[in-house]
Structure 1
């Protein structure tokens, strides 16, 4: 078995593998997929496992920025992980994901995230459950009545508005100290804004993209930096209430719309879980944001068999919203808490130390060190995009 970068000549075989893994695509969707992935090929973002000339499996590393407590971190979004049915159970997926970890590091990504079809293989290689994509079912009529944004100017948007959408996202995620949501590059956003079946509207501090799903509406993205813009965008979606009963929407865990609704007694929110991995420990800790009041100086030990550069003793410091990780040579003077790389990745994503201890991902240390780490890394991560 050999892991190689894919080229345009492989795309027919890749599409066949993808169809066998996830089901068939329409002709238009297959063409959109080719347009999306072709620019990634010369960047080395699409890997294949080969038996001679025969393609056995694939994995892609998408270029994203992921926000953590209001600061951007370079993130490799792992997607299109496939293994041909006749090659499953032969270690192809494991070899591919080992290569993905190395490639993500080579591409400069400090962290990685993925939506798993199955947990065990990814967990065995250091990814751990972190956050979710939250999908709420909302009454269309209740959205229609969310007036109050009359002074908010909305306009239709298309591919040329991609830079402005990215700028809006960056401003809102920084201001709200968001953790987890991603921002795609301009190339990707141009593709998303070219979807013929989507309706897209832009404001100065927010936007919405949505489409019809049967007789209901699916809101893919709605981001607002103010109450007025939130009301204007949600009420725009609700104007379809004469036909639509329900709106399914990707939302934040504490999305403002849940507090703007006049009546709320029971939430109908589904979750699609995503997993997370630290790729470059010192780079990830330095890029992440932290609560302004958190102050820690702690030593931790990390075990990362797939990426030994992350293994060993680290001195973690957090002060005034910024963090750093410096390697230490000896553990002689330290009773350091010991993390698996999955445990450290989960801590980074806000999973409490009490959970990590009771699942074997953290041992050693002291209650004081646990409390300090929980304070520094506390967050409630989410994504509104699926990839």
Structure 2
């Protein structure tokens, strides 16, 4: 273990530390190392959102924070995404990252963000910090020749920079209807709208001048193949007509491309408008959530309208002491109030609260997994309170 007096954690100091952080990340994520690592991406994220750990004054590990929001129950809840988590190989299995995560969570709690999310490359270190699987991200891959070509009732037009506000409004409405989609920050929107591969294509689907959907994509030839794929960075259809029109739009590429690839929901509405189950899952990953501030997180999200209920929780958190104790969650007309006290009839670790909060696993399923304890009737009521669409994200980070 790295002894406490040799470890210092703070924001990077100067470009040399940024380059050291980037080089560690390139090694960790199997990216081609460079004698002069490009630090522009880290600089865009903001030095204030980066942390490095130094051992003996030398950068040994780092991580990034992405302040944004996440949609639950029709409400955007402040959330800090975690990215670029990496440790130099000679410092792995020394406890450095566990200490970085603990300090980071204390910072996030103090700053007032009740949630944190990440995509794990390995789960044990994040579970020790209180994260747990809480939702899905997946890509569908569908052959273009198997798509329907007939529905052309709506107009499709190329979008320009002047349409950015329209695109963002369409996405926000789709995100509001989901569980787990991001409330994208400016940094996250730049990842969608600014070309990473040229050319980036943007199209809107309109009815009499009113937009009902859009797609942002590139055409890319996968290594070792002769045909191109349409790779969607973002795809939104708010109506069935818009979905059918987008399917026809993609089908019109069947003579020049092989597949359509897009990130969608686990129960994907676009698949209602394709003739057969010709798709395959091209990428599947579970993201993890951390309830950083239990009462604030419970009070911030939305809940099903028409549900009047009171849950008595007893939460255990080995990392963030303020979360420990009994909490009463009173839900009415889609909103909630949280107060200390109650009977604590539903007992759970903060890790178990994460998938219950998102609806990824029901309280009864979590009891079967050993994460939650409580009477069947109370757990069934909790399942109603946290019910919603299967949680998913359209973004990686």
Report the TM-score, using the length of structure 2 for normalisation: 0.87
What corresponds to 1:250 in structure 2?
263
What corresponds to 2:4 in structure 1?
none
What corresponds to 2:174 in structure 1?
172
Residues 1-387 of structure 1 mapped to structure 2, 5 A cutoff: 1-9=7-15, 10-25=17-32, 31=38, 34-42=39-47, 44-143=48-147, 145-158=148-161, 161-174=163-176, 177-195=177-195, 196-197=197-198, 198-203=200-205, 204-211=211-218, 212-214=220-222, 215-264=228-277, 268=281, 270-328=283-341, 334=343, 336-350=345-359, 351-363=361-373, 365-379=374-388, 380-387=390-397
CA distance in 2, matches of 1:25, 1:167: 37
Secondary structure (helix, strand or coil) at the match of 1:192 reads helix
Secondary structure (helix, strand or coil) at the match of 2:268 reads coil
Secondary structure (helix, strand or coil) at the match of 1:381 reads coil
* Structure 1, 161-170 or 287-296: larger mean CA deviation: 161-170
Output one character per residue of 1:113-149: Cα deviation in whole Å (capped at 9) or x when no partner.
1110011111111111111112112121233x34434
Shift of 1:157: 3.4
Matched-pair contact (CA < 8 Å) for 1:111–1:280: yes
CA distance in 2, matches of 1:265, 1:20: 37
Sort the Cα spacing of 1:341 and 1:213 in 2 relative to 1 into closer, same or farther, 3 A.
farther
Matched-pair contact (CA < 8 Å) for 1:8–1:38: no
CA distance in 1, matches of 2:14, 2:167: 30
Matched-pair contact (CA < 8 Å) for 1:6–1:41: no
Matched-pair contact (CA < 8 Å) for 1:156–1:200: yes
CA distance in 1, matches of 2:174, 2:186: 17
CA distance in 2, matches of 1:381, 1:286: 19
Shift of 1:323: 1.7
CA distance in 2, matches of 1:266, 1:137: 5
Output one character per residue of 1:142-176: Cα deviation in whole Å (capped at 9) or x when no partner.
33x34434333432234x654433222222222xx
Secondary structure (helix, strand or coil) at the match of 1:154 reads strand
Unaligned runs of 5+ in 2: 1-6, 206-210, 223-227
Sort the Cα spacing of 1:149 and 1:276 in 2 relative to 1 into closer, same or farther, 3 A.
farther
Matched-pair contact (CA < 8 Å) for 1:146–1:261: no
Unaligned runs of 5+ in 1: none
Matched-pair contact (CA < 8 Å) for 2:151–2:248: no
Shift of 1:345: 1.2
CA distance in 2, matches of 1:191, 1:385: 9
CA distance in 2, matches of 1:98, 1:251: 33
CA distance in 2, matches of 1:199, 1:89: 44
Sort the Cα spacing of 1:208 and 1:266 in 2 relative to 1 into closer, same or farther, 3 A.
closer
Shift of 1:234: 3.2
Secondary structure (helix, strand or coil) at the match of 1:112 reads strand
CA distance in 1, matches of 2:170, 2:125: 36
Shift of 1:183: 2.8
Matched-pair contact (CA < 8 Å) for 2:327–2:344: no
CA distance in 2, matches of 1:232, 1:26: 43
CA distance in 1, matches of 2:230, 2:59: 39
Matched-pair contact (CA < 8 Å) for 1:166–1:183: no
Aligned residues: 373
